[in-house]
Amino acid sequence: MATKVVMEALSPTMEEGRLVEWKKKEGDSVAVGDVLADVETDKAVMELVARAEGTLLKQVAPAGATVPVSDIVGWIGKPGEAVGGNGATADKAGGTDKAQRPEPVEAPRPERKAEAAPAVAAAPAPAPARAEGERVKASPLARRMATERGIDLAGIQGSGPAGRIVQRDVESAQPAAAAPAAAAPARVLVIPAGEPYQDVPLTQIRKTIAKRLAQSIGPIPTFYLTSEVDMERTADARDAINASGDGKISYNDIIIKATALALKQHPECNGWWQDDHIRYWNEVHIGMAVAVPDGLITPIIRHADLKTLREIAAEARDLAGRARERRLKPEEYTGSTFSISNLGMFDIDEFTAIINPPEAGILAIGRIAEQTVPAAEGLEVRKRMKITMSCDHRVIDGATGAQFLRTLKRMLENPLAMIW
């Protein structure tokens, strides 16, 4: 009996997906776990894999089509088995069509602490020689991890069923040196000469941004608090750390760390609005806004209060680079408890950011600029920065938000306060 291939919910917030490219053609043999197509979700481009084996009998949805979750995109069955043009099976034996059963994607609950991976006792055994052109069998997760780490799957011995390469095999392999994060490519819009306008279809990420903004700015009673911070001591501390030559940290890394520590002191600002209750988090997971060519995505630094500045810096670079390449996993951009948006690198003095529900607050960071300010002996030029907090008044009161900002300001103006 033919098996339906359906559009799966590849991320917790996904309602529809766009078929970017079919990886299998009609008539191709398919094994369980083979990548059938690349799908653009609301946050990333992910793989739609086969849940049944056989032959790809029909591509119901063409490349480029946008398909709601659970709708049919194709059929897998025995060679020559017929299916109807409207997606109904034409199997003469009768019976009920089977559908490939997608693995449910749940909104991840932030874990308390990542456990260290077990040590590898020995290097992976050399992979047996493969015939020229033979396809390497690997799970989708293993393929993604290998791509991210620069590892050639052809050189790995698979330990899964039938020699299939799985996650543990890639983890045991020696990764290549990490490549630097790519800068966000500029989005260039060219309107044809002589045309009064050009209509551009919405991408999945732009649809999600529009929907989320409507959910945020409309029903959420928002107020804003702005403070100006003297960044001289933070600048000195950053220069001293970077002068050690043991990796570079940015101002944003320091702001993430300081914000996380301030939230630990003010858990009233580290909460989610849940309609009939407020969830106050004891864990701090900071979402950092990253510009991508067609919008914005917010990867998460989990347990930011427990990580060193160097750990935050390395993780932030990695997440930002993969966010721009649309290669984040769902658990890497869902579940933040508070967010930060920094436009200082674009010479923006100050702005207000829109809250990302169900979070109750977001911090907008302006540029660090030299200003002349009063001093003990006349005037002095100091590095100053404006920060603005957007607050959901259903969770955060004015005095509560002000106390949080005061603590954050104190930490940034005196970095030693972070270690007390």
- Could you write out the DSSP letters of every residue in 371-403? EEEEETTEEEEEEEEEEEEEEETTT--HHHHHH
* Cα angle 214-276-272, degrees, rounded to a multiple of 5: 60
Q: Taking phi first (over 0 means left), then psi (-120 to 50 degrees means alpha), and beta for anything else, what does residue 318 get?
A: alpha
List beta partners, residue 71: none
Can 393 be counted among the known catalytic residues?
A: yes
Q: What's the burial of 30, exposed, middle or buried (CB within 10 Å: 0-12/13-18/19+)?
A: buried
- 8 A C-beta contact, residue 108 and residue 335: yes
DSSP H stretches of helix in 62-203: 140-149, 167-172
- 8 A C-beta contact, residue 359 and residue 272: yes
The full length of the chain comes to 420
Spatial distance between the Cα atoms of 200 and 177, rounded to a whole number of angstroms: 39
Spatial distance between the Cα atoms of 206 and 4, rounded to a whole number of angstroms: 29
**265-290 exposure pattern, b = at least 16 Cβ within 10 A, e = fewer:** ebebbbbbbeeeebeebebbbbbbbb
> Which of 266, 277, 285, 393 is the catalytic position?
393
Spatial distance between the Cα atoms of 350 and 228, rounded to a whole number of angstroms: 10
Spatial distance between the Cα atoms of 110 and 114, rounded to a whole number of angstroms: 10
- Extract the runs of DSSP E, i.e. beta strands, from 185-326: 222-230, 271-273, 278-280, 285-288, 290-292, 295-297, 300-302
The sign of the CA dihedral 194, 200, 206, 210 is positive
> Quick one: DSSP state of residue 406?
H
Residues acting as catalytic residues: 393
